[in-house]
């Protein structure tokens, strides 16, 4: 946390984070445009932010795209904001956004990238992403469940006590200890209430996205294993599925990290 506080103390670095919050996935050139500092200075600030895990960089062809990484901020919140207080503060934040209008973050690139570092092994992390006994602990017993072979279906339960269902998801890549990728299910009937009309809901149900987990050794060995999750393929920054997965993945991966590092989940307390 010390690195995060040190990085946030500089107004130029906070400005770069604000720019990424406004539009995620920018190159160094894009982030430097219109700023009263050189590209070299921006690059140095980004290096500090990456070191503090507040920014993560992802290669897309020849480009290096920078993404705001919420994990350190979430860790700060977990340390000083209690379990019951967090719900009240989230509600107040949502009310503030509703009163002030659409936030800049909703205009960002329709892609979710999240990076966390876990004190475990690559093999153990891959097992936690695919083993039903692990998954049951940090995802509440609703799935996913699969043989995890390329092309295999991925099953879910709408209710922990119900039966597994095939929602059309398929495994795209499965390389133990390195990479797991699969298509994501479309919106389900339970999400109808999020839309003003049947036509709007039916159109949203045509959206198909996919999620990819990349597992790598951390840049600094003492930080353990680096897990990068990329959820993309959304039609629009206004996607209801994008909004839901953003919140969902943050909670799920926080629980996964706690589990693998030997901590106790709230549900087990």
E strand map for the chain: 55-60, 63-68, 112-118, 153-156, 165-175, 179-183, 210-217, 225-232
Q: What tokens does 268 get? A: 């087990």
Question: Does residue 73 carry a pLDDT above 50?
Answer: yes
Separation between Cα atoms, residue 168 and residue 190, nearest integer Å: 17
Q: From CA 212, how far away is CA 233, in angstroms rounded?
A: 11
**Whole-number pLDDT of residue 82:** 54
- Of the candidates 267, 260, 264, 265, the one whose C-alpha atom is nearest the C-alpha of residue 127 is 260
Q: Give the rounded percent of residues in the chain with a pLDDT score beyond 70.
A: 82
- pLDDT of 98 > 50? The answer is no
Backbone angles phi, psi at 175, to 5 degrees: -120, 95
- Asked whether residue 114 carries a pLDDT value surpassing 90, the answer given is no
d(CA 121, CA 246): 25
Q: Provide the pLDDT for residue 109.
A: 52
pLDDT in tens, 136-157: 998 888 889 999 999 999 999 8
How confident is the model at residue 265, as a pLDDT?
58
Other Cβ atoms within 10 Å of 104 Cβ, number: 11
Walk me through the domains of the chain, giving residue ranges and CATH numbers.
1-108 (1.10.10.10), 110-264 (3.30.530.20)
What is residue 211's predicted lDDT score, i.e. its pLDDT?
A: 93
What pTM does this model have? Answer: 0.63
Q: What pLDDT was estimated at residue 107?
A: 39
């Amino acid at each position: 946390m010390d690195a995060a506080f040190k990085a946030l103390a500089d107004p130029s670095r906070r400005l770069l984070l604000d720019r990424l919050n406004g539009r995620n996935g920018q190159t160094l050139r894009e982030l430097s445009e219109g700023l009263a500092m050189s590209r070299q200075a921006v690059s140095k600030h980004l290096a500090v932010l990456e070191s503090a895990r507040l920014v993560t960089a992802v290669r897309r062809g020849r480009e290096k795209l920078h993404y705001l990484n919420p994990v350190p901020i979430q860790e700060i919140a977990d340390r000083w904001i209690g379990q019951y207080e967090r719900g009240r503060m989230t509600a107040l934040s949502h009310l503030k956004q509703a009163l002030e209008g659409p936030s800049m973050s909703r205009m960002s690139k329709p892609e979710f990238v999240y990076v966390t570092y876990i004190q475990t092994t690559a093999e153990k992390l891959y097992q936690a992403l695919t083993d039903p006994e692990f998954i049951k602990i940090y995802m509440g017993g609703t799935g996913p469940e699969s043989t995890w072979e390329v092309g295999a279906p991925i099953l879910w339960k709408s209710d922990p006590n119900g039966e597994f269902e095939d929602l059309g998801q398929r495994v795209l890549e499965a390389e133990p200890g390195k990479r797991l990728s699969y298509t994501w299910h479309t919106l389900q009937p339970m999400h109808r209430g999020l839309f003003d009309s049947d036509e709007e809901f039916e159109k949203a149900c045509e959206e198909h996205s996919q999620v990819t987990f990349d597992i790598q050794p951390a840049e600094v060995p003492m930080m353990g294993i680096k897990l990068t999750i990329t959820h993309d393929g959304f039609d629009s920054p206004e996607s209801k599925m994008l909004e839901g997965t953003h919140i969902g993945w943050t909670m799920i991966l926080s629980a996964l990290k706690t589990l693998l590092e030997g901590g106790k989940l709230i549900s087990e307390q």
